[in-house]
Structure 1
Amino acid sequence: MHYLIKQFIPPIFKTLYWFSFKYGWKGDYESFDAANKHAKGYNAQEILEKIKETTRKVVSGEVAYERDGIVYDTPKMNFSMLSTLLMVAAKQNNKLTVLDFGGSLGTTYNHKRNYLQSLSQLQWCIVEQPNYVEAGRKEFEHERLHFYYSLEECLQYHQPDIIIFSGVIQYIEKTYELLDQIRMSGVKYLYIDYIAFNDEDRDRIAIQHVPPEFYGTPASYTCWFYSKPKFYQYMKQHFNLVYDFIADPDKYYIQLKPFNYEGQLWELKSN
Protein backbone atom coordinates (compact mmCIF):
# COMPACT_ATOMS: atom_id res chain seq x y z
CA MET A 1 0.00 0.00 0.00
CA HIS A 2 2.83 2.39 0.89
CA TYR A 3 4.39 1.74 -2.51
CA LEU A 4 1.10 2.44 -4.32
CA ILE A 5 0.58 5.71 -2.44
CA LYS A 6 4.06 6.85 -3.49
CA GLN A 7 3.20 6.29 -7.16
CA PHE A 8 0.36 8.83 -6.97
CA ILE A 9 2.41 11.56 -5.28
CA PRO A 10 3.72 14.00 -7.91
CA PRO A 11 7.56 14.27 -7.94
CA ILE A 12 7.33 17.98 -7.08
CA PHE A 13 6.13 17.13 -3.56
CA LYS A 14 9.17 14.97 -2.91
CA THR A 15 11.42 17.71 -4.27
CA LEU A 16 9.77 20.34 -2.10
CA TYR A 17 10.06 18.12 0.98
CA TRP A 18 13.77 17.53 0.53
CA PHE A 19 14.82 20.89 -0.87
CA SER A 20 12.44 23.42 0.63
CA PHE A 21 10.75 22.15 3.80
CA LYS A 22 13.25 19.80 5.44
CA TYR A 23 16.59 20.50 3.76
CA GLY A 24 17.68 22.74 0.90
CA TRP A 25 18.11 26.52 0.81
CA LYS A 26 16.66 28.78 3.46
CA GLY A 27 16.99 32.30 4.77
CA ASP A 28 17.70 35.77 3.47
CA TYR A 29 20.66 37.15 5.42
CA GLU A 30 22.23 40.59 5.43
CA SER A 31 25.80 39.29 5.23
CA PHE A 32 27.94 36.16 5.05
CA ASP A 33 28.98 36.74 8.65
CA ALA A 34 25.37 36.76 9.78
CA ALA A 35 24.62 33.53 7.90
CA ASN A 36 27.84 31.83 9.03
CA LYS A 37 26.68 32.09 12.63
CA HIS A 38 23.98 29.56 11.75
CA ALA A 39 25.91 27.37 9.25
CA LYS A 40 28.41 24.64 10.05
CA GLY A 41 30.60 25.24 7.02
CA TYR A 42 32.21 22.94 4.48
CA ASN A 43 35.50 22.54 6.34
CA ALA A 44 34.08 20.30 9.08
CA GLN A 45 36.46 17.41 9.68
CA GLU A 46 33.74 14.75 9.38
CA ILE A 47 32.95 15.97 5.86
CA LEU A 48 36.60 15.77 4.84
CA GLU A 49 36.91 12.26 6.25
CA LYS A 50 33.86 11.12 4.28
CA ILE A 51 35.26 12.59 1.06
CA LYS A 52 38.67 11.01 1.67
CA GLU A 53 36.95 7.66 2.06
CA THR A 54 34.95 7.94 -1.17
CA THR A 55 37.91 9.37 -3.12
CA ARG A 56 40.04 6.39 -2.11
CA LYS A 57 37.38 4.10 -3.59
CA VAL A 58 37.50 5.96 -6.91
CA VAL A 59 41.30 5.98 -7.08
CA SER A 60 41.47 2.26 -6.30
CA GLY A 61 38.84 1.49 -8.96
CA GLU A 62 36.35 0.15 -6.44
CA VAL A 63 33.70 2.64 -7.64
CA ALA A 64 33.38 4.70 -10.81
CA TYR A 65 32.71 8.15 -9.38
CA GLU A 66 32.15 10.13 -6.21
CA ARG A 67 30.73 13.56 -5.54
CA ASP A 68 30.03 15.19 -2.19
CA GLY A 69 30.67 11.96 -0.34
CA ILE A 70 28.30 9.82 -2.43
CA VAL A 71 29.61 7.07 -4.72
CA TYR A 72 28.14 6.16 -8.11
CA ASP A 73 28.53 3.06 -10.26
CA THR A 74 27.60 5.00 -13.40
CA PRO A 75 28.74 8.63 -13.37
CA LYS A 76 26.62 11.25 -15.07
CA MET A 77 28.68 12.74 -17.89
CA ASN A 78 29.06 16.50 -18.05
CA PHE A 79 29.38 16.81 -21.82
CA SER A 80 29.45 20.59 -21.71
CA MET A 81 32.57 20.62 -19.55
CA LEU A 82 34.27 17.78 -21.38
CA SER A 83 33.76 19.32 -24.83
CA THR A 84 35.02 22.65 -23.48
CA LEU A 85 38.19 21.09 -22.08
CA LEU A 86 38.89 19.30 -25.36
CA MET A 87 38.27 22.51 -27.32
CA VAL A 88 40.68 24.49 -25.14
CA ALA A 89 43.30 21.72 -25.38
CA ALA A 90 42.99 21.66 -29.17
CA LYS A 91 43.89 25.37 -29.21
CA GLN A 92 46.95 24.62 -27.06
CA ASN A 93 48.53 21.94 -29.29
CA ASN A 94 46.82 19.12 -27.41
CA LYS A 95 48.10 20.36 -24.03
CA LEU A 96 45.90 21.44 -21.14
CA THR A 97 46.43 23.04 -17.73
CA VAL A 98 43.30 23.32 -15.60
CA LEU A 99 42.78 25.30 -12.41
CA ASP A 100 39.87 23.60 -10.65
CA PHE A 101 38.69 26.03 -7.97
CA GLY A 102 37.14 24.16 -5.05
CA GLY A 103 37.83 20.81 -6.69
CA SER A 104 37.73 18.81 -3.45
CA LEU A 105 40.23 15.92 -3.52
CA GLY A 106 40.00 15.50 -7.29
CA THR A 107 36.33 14.81 -7.98
CA THR A 108 36.23 16.39 -11.45
CA TYR A 109 39.74 15.27 -12.39
CA ASN A 110 38.91 11.64 -11.55
CA HIS A 111 35.68 11.94 -13.52
CA LYS A 112 37.36 13.35 -16.64
CA ARG A 113 40.81 11.74 -16.67
CA ASN A 114 39.88 8.74 -18.82
CA TYR A 115 38.43 11.06 -21.48
CA LEU A 116 41.57 13.21 -21.57
CA GLN A 117 44.07 10.38 -22.07
CA SER A 118 44.79 11.44 -25.65
CA LEU A 119 46.24 14.77 -24.54
CA SER A 120 49.99 15.00 -24.86
CA GLN A 121 50.14 16.93 -21.58
CA LEU A 122 47.65 17.42 -18.74
CA GLN A 123 48.16 19.35 -15.51
CA TRP A 124 45.20 19.58 -13.13
CA CYS A 125 45.55 22.08 -10.28
CA ILE A 126 43.08 22.27 -7.41
CA VAL A 127 42.70 25.31 -5.16
CA GLU A 128 40.96 24.35 -1.93
CA GLN A 129 40.62 25.01 1.77
CA PRO A 130 43.76 24.29 3.85
CA ASN A 131 42.62 20.96 5.30
CA TYR A 132 41.75 19.68 1.81
CA VAL A 133 45.09 20.81 0.40
CA GLU A 134 46.93 19.04 3.22
CA ALA A 135 44.93 15.84 2.70
CA GLY A 136 45.30 16.05 -1.09
CA ARG A 137 49.07 16.54 -0.97
CA LYS A 138 49.50 13.75 1.54
CA GLU A 139 47.45 11.09 -0.20
CA PHE A 140 46.22 11.96 -3.70
CA GLU A 141 48.73 14.25 -5.42
CA HIS A 142 50.78 12.93 -8.35
CA GLU A 143 52.53 14.17 -11.49
CA ARG A 144 49.26 15.38 -13.06
CA LEU A 145 47.23 16.36 -10.00
CA HIS A 146 48.33 19.21 -7.71
CA PHE A 147 46.83 21.01 -4.70
CA TYR A 148 47.28 24.68 -3.78
CA TYR A 149 46.11 26.99 -1.02
CA SER A 150 45.32 29.95 -3.27
CA LEU A 151 45.12 31.24 -6.82
CA GLU A 152 48.36 33.15 -6.26
CA GLU A 153 50.24 30.04 -5.15
CA CYS A 154 49.03 28.05 -8.14
CA LEU A 155 50.11 30.79 -10.56
CA GLN A 156 53.65 30.58 -9.21
CA TYR A 157 53.98 27.10 -10.71
CA HIS A 158 51.46 26.93 -13.56
CA GLN A 159 49.82 29.09 -16.20
CA PRO A 160 46.31 27.64 -16.53
CA ASP A 161 44.49 27.62 -19.84
CA ILE A 162 41.10 27.49 -18.12
CA ILE A 163 39.65 27.97 -14.65
CA ILE A 164 36.72 25.81 -13.58
CA PHE A 165 34.11 26.62 -10.95
CA SER A 166 31.92 23.52 -10.77
CA GLY A 167 29.19 24.04 -8.19
CA VAL A 168 31.57 26.23 -6.19
CA ILE A 169 31.42 29.91 -7.01
CA GLN A 170 28.24 30.62 -5.03
CA TYR A 171 29.98 29.54 -1.79
CA ILE A 172 32.77 32.12 -2.10
CA GLU A 173 32.08 35.12 0.09
CA LYS A 174 34.04 37.74 -1.88
CA THR A 175 33.12 36.50 -5.32
CA TYR A 176 33.76 39.66 -7.29
CA GLU A 177 37.14 40.23 -5.64
CA LEU A 178 38.16 36.75 -6.73
CA LEU A 179 36.85 37.35 -10.25
CA ASP A 180 38.96 40.53 -10.35
CA GLN A 181 42.03 38.47 -9.47
CA ILE A 182 41.16 35.94 -12.16
CA ARG A 183 40.78 38.50 -14.93
CA MET A 184 44.07 40.16 -13.93
CA SER A 185 45.82 36.77 -13.98
CA GLY A 186 45.37 36.57 -17.74
CA VAL A 187 43.80 33.09 -17.77
CA LYS A 188 41.89 33.03 -21.03
CA TYR A 189 38.86 30.86 -20.25
CA LEU A 190 36.54 30.71 -17.27
CA TYR A 191 34.03 27.87 -17.06
CA ILE A 192 31.23 28.12 -14.50
CA ASP A 193 28.52 25.55 -13.89
CA TYR A 194 25.92 24.83 -11.23
CA ILE A 195 25.46 28.51 -10.42
CA ALA A 196 22.08 29.67 -9.08
CA PHE A 197 20.52 33.09 -9.57
CA ASN A 198 18.01 35.11 -7.60
CA ASP A 199 14.94 36.16 -9.60
CA GLU A 200 15.11 39.58 -7.96
CA ASP A 201 17.47 42.41 -8.88
CA ARG A 202 19.71 41.80 -5.88
CA ASP A 203 22.08 39.18 -4.52
CA ARG A 204 20.55 36.97 -1.87
CA ILE A 205 22.46 35.16 0.89
CA ALA A 206 21.00 31.88 2.13
CA ILE A 207 22.07 28.74 3.95
CA GLN A 208 22.06 25.39 2.18
CA HIS A 209 21.09 22.51 4.47
CA VAL A 210 22.45 19.21 3.18
CA PRO A 211 20.83 15.83 4.00
CA PRO A 212 23.00 13.38 5.99
CA GLU A 213 22.94 10.98 3.01
CA PHE A 214 25.78 13.01 1.49
CA TYR A 215 28.38 13.19 4.23
CA GLY A 216 26.99 10.83 6.87
CA THR A 217 26.07 13.84 8.99
CA PRO A 218 23.87 16.91 8.42
CA ALA A 219 25.82 19.81 6.92
CA SER A 220 25.06 23.42 6.15
CA TYR A 221 26.91 26.26 4.47
CA THR A 222 26.35 29.83 3.40
CA CYS A 223 25.81 30.56 -0.28
CA TRP A 224 24.89 33.30 -2.74
CA PHE A 225 21.95 33.49 -5.07
CA TYR A 226 23.35 36.13 -7.41
CA SER A 227 21.36 38.71 -9.30
CA LYS A 228 21.74 37.49 -12.86
CA PRO A 229 21.71 40.98 -14.46
CA LYS A 230 24.36 42.18 -12.00
CA PHE A 231 26.52 39.09 -12.50
CA TYR A 232 26.32 39.25 -16.31
CA GLN A 233 26.96 43.00 -16.30
CA TYR A 234 30.19 42.50 -14.39
CA MET A 235 31.31 39.55 -16.52
CA LYS A 236 30.59 41.24 -19.84
CA GLN A 237 32.81 44.17 -18.91
CA HIS A 238 35.82 41.86 -18.89
CA PHE A 239 34.84 38.64 -20.69
CA ASN A 240 33.04 37.58 -23.84
CA LEU A 241 30.26 35.07 -23.34
CA VAL A 242 31.05 32.01 -25.46
CA TYR A 243 27.88 30.16 -24.47
CA ASP A 244 25.57 29.61 -21.53
CA PHE A 245 23.43 26.62 -20.66
CA ILE A 246 21.18 24.93 -18.12
CA ALA A 247 23.48 22.76 -16.02
CA ASP A 248 20.69 20.68 -14.50
CA PRO A 249 17.19 20.36 -16.00
CA ASP A 250 15.65 19.62 -12.59
CA LYS A 251 13.89 22.39 -10.74
CA TYR A 252 15.04 23.24 -7.22
CA TYR A 253 13.42 25.52 -4.69
CA ILE A 254 14.52 28.13 -2.21
CA GLN A 255 11.57 28.36 0.15
CA LEU A 256 9.03 27.60 -2.62
CA LYS A 257 10.76 29.84 -5.20
CA PRO A 258 11.94 27.67 -8.14
CA PHE A 259 15.35 27.95 -9.76
CA ASN A 260 17.60 26.06 -12.16
CA TYR A 261 21.31 25.53 -11.95
CA GLU A 262 22.95 27.29 -14.90
CA GLY A 263 26.41 27.65 -16.40
CA GLN A 264 28.54 29.64 -18.80
CA LEU A 265 31.85 29.62 -20.64
CA TRP A 266 33.58 33.02 -20.67
CA GLU A 267 36.61 34.15 -22.68
CA LEU A 268 38.80 36.98 -21.37
CA LYS A 269 38.65 40.07 -23.56
CA SER A 270 41.82 41.17 -25.30
CA ASN A 271 43.36 44.39 -24.05
Structure 2
Amino acid sequence: MIKYFLKKKFRKDEYGWFGNYSSWQEAATISDGYCKASILEKTKNALLKIKNGEAIYERDSVLFDKKEHPFPLLSCLLRTAWEKGTPLNILDFGGSLGSTYFQIKDFLPADVCVTWCIVEQNHYVECGRDLFENSTLKFFYSIEECLAATKIDLIILSGVIQFLPDPHHFLHRLTSYGFKTILFDRTPFIRDNKDRLTVQKVWPSVYEASYPAWFFHEASFIQHFEHDYCIKGDFKTYVEGESILQINNEPIGYSKGICLVKK
Protein backbone atom coordinates (compact mmCIF):
# COMPACT_ATOMS: atom_id res chain seq x y z
CA MET A 1 0.00 0.00 0.00
CA ILE A 2 2.83 2.42 0.84
CA LYS A 3 4.53 1.64 -2.47
CA TYR A 4 1.22 2.30 -4.26
CA PHE A 5 0.77 5.76 -2.76
CA LEU A 6 4.42 6.68 -3.32
CA LYS A 7 4.10 5.65 -6.95
CA LYS A 8 0.85 7.60 -7.32
CA LYS A 9 2.39 10.74 -5.81
CA PHE A 10 5.47 10.41 -8.00
CA ARG A 11 3.36 10.20 -11.13
CA LYS A 12 1.24 13.14 -10.06
CA ASP A 13 4.38 15.22 -9.52
CA GLU A 14 5.92 14.12 -12.80
CA TYR A 15 3.16 15.00 -15.30
CA GLY A 16 1.13 18.16 -15.81
CA TRP A 17 2.21 21.81 -16.09
CA PHE A 18 5.47 23.08 -14.65
CA GLY A 19 7.70 26.13 -14.53
CA ASN A 20 7.50 29.85 -15.17
CA TYR A 21 9.62 30.51 -18.25
CA SER A 22 10.73 33.87 -19.53
CA SER A 23 10.56 33.02 -23.24
CA TRP A 24 9.15 30.47 -25.66
CA GLN A 25 12.68 29.56 -26.72
CA GLU A 26 13.66 28.78 -23.15
CA ALA A 27 10.66 26.49 -22.66
CA ALA A 28 11.12 24.90 -26.08
CA THR A 29 14.71 23.88 -25.38
CA ILE A 30 13.55 21.44 -22.68
CA SER A 31 10.46 20.23 -24.58
CA ASP A 32 9.83 17.73 -27.35
CA GLY A 33 7.42 19.99 -29.22
CA TYR A 34 4.04 19.31 -30.81
CA CYS A 35 5.36 18.17 -34.20
CA LYS A 36 6.37 14.62 -33.23
CA ALA A 37 5.28 12.09 -35.84
CA SER A 38 4.09 9.73 -33.12
CA ILE A 39 1.38 12.20 -32.02
CA LEU A 40 -0.07 12.36 -35.51
CA GLU A 41 0.16 8.59 -35.91
CA LYS A 42 -1.76 7.87 -32.71
CA THR A 43 -4.35 10.53 -33.50
CA LYS A 44 -4.79 9.21 -37.05
CA ASN A 45 -5.30 5.63 -35.88
CA ALA A 46 -7.82 6.68 -33.24
CA LEU A 47 -9.87 8.83 -35.61
CA LEU A 48 -9.86 6.19 -38.33
CA LYS A 49 -11.64 3.95 -35.83
CA ILE A 50 -14.18 6.72 -35.23
CA LYS A 51 -14.63 7.29 -38.96
CA ASN A 52 -15.09 3.56 -39.61
CA GLY A 53 -17.57 3.10 -36.74
CA GLU A 54 -15.18 0.94 -34.70
CA ALA A 55 -15.07 3.38 -31.75
CA ILE A 56 -17.35 6.03 -30.26
CA TYR A 57 -15.32 9.02 -29.15
CA GLU A 58 -11.78 10.38 -29.36
CA ARG A 59 -10.10 13.23 -27.49
CA ASP A 60 -6.40 14.10 -27.68
CA SER A 61 -5.76 10.76 -29.48
CA VAL A 62 -7.36 8.74 -26.65
CA LEU A 63 -10.44 6.60 -27.33
CA PHE A 64 -13.38 6.56 -24.90
CA ASP A 65 -16.36 4.22 -24.69
CA LYS A 66 -18.76 7.09 -23.96
CA LYS A 67 -19.07 10.35 -25.88
CA GLU A 68 -18.90 13.69 -24.06
CA HIS A 69 -20.92 16.44 -25.72
CA PRO A 70 -19.68 20.05 -25.50
CA PHE A 71 -23.15 21.56 -25.14
CA PRO A 72 -22.00 25.20 -24.66
CA LEU A 73 -20.10 24.94 -27.94
CA LEU A 74 -23.12 23.38 -29.63
CA SER A 75 -25.38 26.14 -28.28
CA CYS A 76 -23.11 28.78 -29.79
CA LEU A 77 -23.08 27.02 -33.17
CA LEU A 78 -26.84 26.57 -33.26
CA ARG A 79 -27.46 30.17 -32.19
CA THR A 80 -25.17 31.49 -34.93
CA ALA A 81 -26.90 29.29 -37.54
CA TRP A 82 -30.32 30.49 -36.37
CA GLU A 83 -29.27 34.14 -36.60
CA LYS A 84 -27.75 33.66 -40.05
CA GLY A 85 -30.73 31.73 -41.37
CA THR A 86 -28.56 29.62 -43.67
CA PRO A 87 -26.05 26.81 -42.97
CA LEU A 88 -22.72 27.77 -41.44
CA ASN A 89 -19.23 27.57 -42.84
CA ILE A 90 -17.14 26.77 -39.76
CA LEU A 91 -13.38 27.10 -39.33
CA ASP A 92 -11.82 24.87 -36.68
CA PHE A 93 -8.35 26.30 -36.06
CA GLY A 94 -5.99 23.62 -34.77
CA GLY A 95 -8.77 21.06 -35.13
CA SER A 96 -6.48 18.03 -35.51
CA LEU A 97 -7.96 15.52 -37.97
CA GLY A 98 -11.54 16.42 -37.09
CA SER A 99 -11.86 15.54 -33.40
CA THR A 100 -14.58 18.11 -32.64
CA TYR A 101 -16.30 17.53 -35.99
CA PHE A 102 -16.69 13.80 -35.35
CA GLN A 103 -17.70 14.51 -31.75
CA ILE A 104 -20.67 16.73 -32.65
CA LYS A 105 -21.53 16.02 -36.29
CA ASP A 106 -24.73 14.20 -35.30
CA PHE A 107 -25.97 17.58 -33.99
CA LEU A 108 -25.04 19.37 -37.21
CA PRO A 109 -27.47 18.51 -40.02
CA ALA A 110 -27.01 20.07 -43.43
CA ASP A 111 -29.23 23.04 -42.54
CA VAL A 112 -26.85 23.95 -39.68
CA CYS A 113 -23.38 23.24 -41.08
CA VAL A 114 -22.46 23.02 -44.75
CA THR A 115 -18.66 23.11 -44.42
CA TRP A 116 -16.30 22.29 -41.53
CA CYS A 117 -12.82 23.58 -42.38
CA ILE A 118 -9.73 22.69 -40.37
CA VAL A 119 -6.49 24.70 -40.36
CA GLU A 120 -3.60 22.66 -39.02
CA GLN A 121 0.11 21.86 -39.25
CA ASN A 122 1.23 20.74 -42.69
CA HIS A 123 1.54 17.03 -41.87
CA TYR A 124 -1.97 17.02 -40.36
CA VAL A 125 -3.41 18.71 -43.45
CA GLU A 126 -1.76 16.16 -45.74
CA CYS A 127 -3.06 13.26 -43.63
CA GLY A 128 -6.51 14.84 -43.36
CA ARG A 129 -6.83 15.33 -47.09
CA ASP A 130 -5.72 11.75 -47.76
CA LEU A 131 -7.88 9.95 -45.19
CA PHE A 132 -10.65 12.15 -43.77
CA GLU A 133 -11.73 14.87 -46.18
CA ASN A 134 -15.29 14.65 -47.54
CA SER A 135 -17.97 16.97 -48.90
CA THR A 136 -18.26 18.68 -45.49
CA LEU A 137 -14.86 18.25 -43.83
CA LYS A 138 -12.00 20.18 -45.49
CA PHE A 139 -8.36 20.82 -44.55
CA PHE A 140 -6.21 23.93 -45.12
CA TYR A 141 -2.66 25.05 -44.38
CA SER A 142 -3.63 28.56 -43.24
CA ILE A 143 -6.56 30.80 -42.41
CA GLU A 144 -5.84 32.78 -45.56
CA GLU A 145 -6.03 29.67 -47.75
CA CYS A 146 -9.31 28.70 -46.10
CA LEU A 147 -10.84 32.17 -46.58
CA ALA A 148 -9.84 32.17 -50.23
CA ALA A 149 -11.96 29.04 -50.68
CA THR A 150 -14.85 29.69 -48.28
CA LYS A 151 -16.48 32.62 -46.49
CA ILE A 152 -16.32 31.66 -42.80
CA ASP A 153 -19.12 32.52 -40.37
CA LEU A 154 -17.67 31.15 -37.14
CA ILE A 155 -14.21 30.15 -35.96
CA ILE A 156 -13.57 27.60 -33.21
CA LEU A 157 -10.32 27.64 -31.25
CA SER A 158 -10.42 24.74 -28.82
CA GLY A 159 -7.33 23.87 -26.79
CA VAL A 160 -4.96 25.51 -29.27
CA ILE A 161 -4.09 29.13 -28.42
CA GLN A 162 -1.88 28.08 -25.51
CA PHE A 163 0.46 26.24 -27.88
CA LEU A 164 1.31 29.23 -30.10
CA PRO A 165 4.73 30.88 -29.61
CA ASP A 166 3.25 34.41 -29.78
CA PRO A 167 -0.45 34.05 -28.92
CA HIS A 168 -1.15 37.75 -28.39
CA HIS A 169 0.10 38.61 -31.86
CA PHE A 170 -2.22 35.94 -33.24
CA LEU A 171 -5.18 37.18 -31.16
CA HIS A 172 -4.64 40.72 -32.43
CA ARG A 173 -4.57 39.42 -36.02
CA LEU A 174 -7.65 37.28 -35.39
CA THR A 175 -9.86 40.34 -34.95
CA SER A 176 -8.86 41.65 -38.41
CA TYR A 177 -10.60 38.77 -40.22
CA GLY A 178 -14.02 40.02 -39.16
CA PHE A 179 -15.52 36.65 -38.21
CA LYS A 180 -19.11 37.01 -37.01
CA THR A 181 -18.52 34.64 -34.08
CA ILE A 182 -15.29 33.62 -32.34
CA LEU A 183 -15.55 30.65 -30.00
CA PHE A 184 -12.77 29.69 -27.60
CA ASP A 185 -12.96 26.41 -25.68
CA ARG A 186 -10.58 24.51 -23.39
CA THR A 187 -8.46 27.65 -23.02
CA PRO A 188 -6.26 27.87 -19.89
CA PHE A 189 -6.15 30.93 -17.66
CA ILE A 190 -4.28 31.70 -14.46
CA ARG A 191 -5.24 33.43 -11.23
CA ASP A 192 -2.47 35.98 -11.51
CA ASN A 193 -1.98 39.45 -12.97
CA LYS A 194 0.04 38.30 -16.00
CA ASP A 195 0.45 35.38 -18.39
CA ARG A 196 2.58 32.43 -17.41
CA LEU A 197 4.56 30.18 -19.73
CA THR A 198 4.91 26.58 -18.57
CA VAL A 199 5.97 23.23 -19.97
CA GLN A 200 3.22 20.63 -20.20
CA LYS A 201 4.41 17.07 -19.66
CA VAL A 202 1.76 14.79 -21.13
CA TRP A 203 0.65 11.65 -19.33
CA PRO A 204 2.11 8.59 -21.11
CA SER A 205 -1.40 7.09 -21.35
CA VAL A 206 -2.10 9.84 -23.90
CA TYR A 207 1.28 9.90 -25.67
CA GLU A 208 4.92 10.61 -24.84
CA ALA A 209 5.42 14.35 -25.32
CA SER A 210 6.13 17.67 -23.70
CA TYR A 211 5.70 21.17 -25.08
CA PRO A 212 5.51 24.84 -24.02
CA ALA A 213 2.04 25.90 -22.92
CA TRP A 214 0.68 29.32 -21.95
CA PHE A 215 -1.72 30.21 -19.15
CA PHE A 216 -3.39 33.55 -19.83
CA HIS A 217 -4.28 36.53 -17.69
CA GLU A 218 -7.98 36.68 -18.54
CA ALA A 219 -8.40 40.46 -18.68
CA SER A 220 -5.42 40.84 -21.04
CA PHE A 221 -6.76 38.04 -23.21
CA ILE A 222 -10.21 39.62 -23.52
CA GLN A 223 -8.75 43.07 -24.17
CA HIS A 224 -7.93 42.07 -27.76
CA PHE A 225 -11.65 41.85 -28.55
CA GLU A 226 -13.21 44.67 -26.53
CA HIS A 227 -13.40 47.11 -29.43
CA ASP A 228 -15.01 44.85 -32.04
CA TYR A 229 -16.72 42.05 -30.09
CA CYS A 230 -18.99 41.52 -27.14
CA ILE A 231 -18.95 38.48 -24.87
CA LYS A 232 -22.13 36.56 -25.51
CA GLY A 233 -21.27 34.02 -22.82
CA ASP A 234 -18.51 32.14 -21.09
CA PHE A 235 -18.57 28.64 -19.68
CA LYS A 236 -16.61 25.96 -17.89
CA THR A 237 -14.89 23.38 -20.03
CA TYR A 238 -16.86 20.18 -20.57
CA VAL A 239 -13.80 17.99 -19.89
CA GLU A 240 -13.78 16.56 -16.40
CA GLY A 241 -10.74 17.67 -14.43
CA GLU A 242 -9.93 20.74 -16.56
CA SER A 243 -11.98 23.32 -14.68
CA ILE A 244 -9.06 23.50 -12.21
CA LEU A 245 -5.51 23.06 -13.51
CA GLN A 246 -2.42 22.67 -11.40
CA ILE A 247 0.89 24.37 -12.11
CA ASN A 248 3.78 22.98 -10.11
CA ASN A 249 1.07 20.96 -8.35
CA GLU A 250 -0.74 24.10 -7.15
CA PRO A 251 -4.38 24.70 -8.26
CA ILE A 252 -3.85 28.16 -9.74
CA GLY A 253 -5.02 27.55 -13.31
CA TYR A 254 -8.43 26.95 -14.85
CA SER A 255 -9.84 26.15 -18.28
CA LYS A 256 -12.91 27.79 -19.77
CA GLY A 257 -14.68 28.75 -22.98
CA ILE A 258 -15.71 32.17 -24.28
CA CYS A 259 -18.18 33.01 -27.05
CA LEU A 260 -17.58 36.36 -28.75
CA VAL A 261 -19.97 37.97 -31.24
CA LYS A 262 -19.06 40.86 -33.52
CA LYS A 263 -20.69 44.16 -32.55
TM norm structure 2: 0.91
For 1:108-123, list aligned pairs within 5 A: 108-117=100-109, 119=111, 121-123=113-115
- Alignment partner of 2:247 out of 254, 260, 268: 254
Deviations 1:134-185 (A, max 9, x none): 1111111111011111111111011111110111111112222222322111
2:262 is the counterpart of 1:268: yes
2:146 is the counterpart of 1:154: yes
| Partner Cα distance (1:120, 1:29) in 2 | 43
For 1:24-43, list aligned pairs within 5 A: 24-43=16-35
SS at match of 1:192: strand
How many positions carry a matched residue from both structures?
Answer: 257
Question: 1:92 Cα shift?
Answer: 2.1
| Partner Cα distance (2:93, 2:135) in 1 | 19
Using the TM superposition, name which of 94-103 and 52-61 deviates more. Answer: 94-103
SS at match of 2:225: helix
- Alignment partner of 2:228 out of 231, 238, 242: 238
Closer/same/farther in 2, CA of residues 190 and 18 from structure 1, 3 Å limit: farther
Could you tell me which residue of structure 1 aligns to residue 66 of structure 2? 74
Letter of the 2:230 partner, please give it. N
Deviations 1:203-248 (A, max 9, x none): 1111100011112xx2111111111121122222332111111215
CA RMSD between the two structures: 2.0
Letter of the 1:175 partner, please give it. P
SS at match of 2:215: strand
Deviations 1:110-144 (A, max 9, x none): 01111112526520000101110111111111110
TM norm structure 1: 0.89
2:215 is the counterpart of 1:225: yes
- 5+ residue gaps, structure 2: none
**Cα pair 1:159 1:187 within 8 Å, conserved:** no
Question: 1:66 Cα shift?
Answer: 0.8
Judging by fraction of residues, say which structure has more helix.
1
| Partner Cα distance (1:121, 1:41) in 2 | 33
Percent of aligned positions that are identical: 37
Could you tell me which residue of structure 2 aligns to residue 98 of structure 1? 90
**Cα pair 1:183 1:268 within 8 Å, conserved:** no
Letter of the 1:95 partner, please give it. P
| Partner Cα distance (1:148, 1:42) in 2 | 18
| Partner Cα distance (2:10, 2:235) in 1 | 27
Moved over 6 A (4+): none
Using the TM superposition, name which of 30-39 and 239-248 deviates more. Answer: 239-248
SS at match of 2:128: helix
Question: 1:67 Cα shift?
Answer: 1.2
| Partner Cα distance (1:252, 1:180) in 2 | 26
For 1:119-268, list aligned pairs within 5 A: 119=111, 121-215=113-207, 218-248=208-238, 250=241, 251-258=244-251, 259-268=253-262
| Partner Cα distance (2:185, 2:112) in 1 | 26
Question: 1:68 Cα shift?
Answer: 1.2
Deviations 1:52-79 (A, max 9, x none): 1001000000001111111112111110
| Partner Cα distance (1:97, 1:17) in 2 | 46
**Cα pair 2:90 2:113 within 8 Å, conserved:** no
Question: 1:267 Cα shift?
Answer: 1.1
Letter of the 1:221 partner, please give it. Y
